[in-house]
Amino acid sequence: LSESKSMFSYDIGPCDSTQTSSIADELRAVKDGEVCMVDYRNCSVLQCMTCNTVLGDSLAICGEVRSLQSIICLKVSEDVRVNKKLEMSLNGHLAFSTHQVLYCAGCHGAVGLVLHSTPEHLSALRNLFLLRKELINCYMLRSGARVKASKINFKHRLMDKNIKELKQDLEAQLKQVKILEGMMEKLFLVKHCILPLESQTCYIFIIQYSNPKK
């Protein structure tokens, strides 16, 4: 590999990353549950700047990465295609990271990427959809205006309540696991530790005999 090249790629099958973030899955579930409480008039639609294909909406946005000039999305529309090639960056902000490029189904242009293996400082972005702001327009449902995503500051959404609910759910599941462990332990003792009557008598006799105080 020449030192002048910053990326290389090879063909792979459908991605089955072992680093799938379970936290992201939980956050998706939490956000899916709160959609019914959202005032859709205050929402916006993410469109491809080239062909206006809908790529996602503001309900799935959880912030932005300024160093990458990208919008962080928990999910995108079906018109966002994931390239099967896994690529690696050797320098820049994505140095030593592997990713797949996201394409618009309408114009087939690149609109972002999905990170997989990354250095520690990018670990929170693994398996999330990163859409390039310079390639996206935002259609505001309330006003009908179309604004360049590069002109908008996508603040991180407050998720304290969601995190508390997630913590409570995990604690409840942990209690259930402990109850099941206790039940399994009792079943194990019943199955393996009940001795025949002769063995019980002999066992008690040995304990009494070995105690000098008695």
Identify which has the larger pLDDT, 200 or 61: 61
> Given a cut of 90, is residue 140 above it in pLDDT?
yes
Lowest mean pLDDT among 109-113, 147-151, 157-161: 157-161
DSSP lists the bridge partners of residue 57 as: 45
What is the DSSP secondary-structure string of 2-63?
-TT--EEEEE-SS---TT--HHHHHHHHHHHHTGGGS-GGG-EEEEETTT--EEEEGGGEEE
Contact, 17 vs 9, CB < 8 A?
A: no
* pLDDT tens profile 18-52: 434 555 555 555 555 544 556 788 889 999 999 99
Helix (H/G/I), strand (E/B), else coil: 185: helix
Report pTM. 0.56
Position 190 confidence tier, pLDDT thresholds 50, 70, 90: confident
Identify which has the larger pLDDT, 129 or 6: 129
So what's the pLDDT on residue 15? 43
Domains of the chain plus CATH, in order, are: 7-157 (2.170.150.20), 163-210 (no CATH)
Q: What average pLDDT does the segment 204-211 reach?
A: 45
Position 195 confidence tier, pLDDT thresholds 50, 70, 90: very low
Contact, 7 vs 89, CB < 8 A?
A: yes
So what's the pLDDT on residue 177? 86
Place of tokens 């910053």: 6
Determine whether 16 is exposed, middle or buried from the number of CB atoms within 10 Å of its CB (0-12, 13-18, 19+).
exposed
| Torsion sign over Cα 55, 38, 63, 25 | negative
Direct distance between the N- and C-terminal alpha carbons of the chain, in angstroms, rounded to an integer: 82
So what's the pLDDT on residue 28? 58
So what's the pLDDT on residue 40? 80
> Given a cut of 70, is residue 204 above it in pLDDT?
no
Helix axes 22-33, 160-192, angle to 10 degrees: 120
> Given a cut of 60, is residue 144 above it in pLDDT?
yes
Give the percent of the chain with pLDDT over 70.
66
> Given a cut of 50, is residue 130 above it in pLDDT?
yes
* pLDDT tens profile 152-174: 988 765 555 566 667 777 888 88
Give the percent of the chain with pLDDT over 90.
37
What is the DSSP secondary-structure string of 78-135?
TTEEEPSEEEEE-SGGGTTEEEEEEEETTT--EEEEEE-S--GGGGGGBT-EEEEGGG
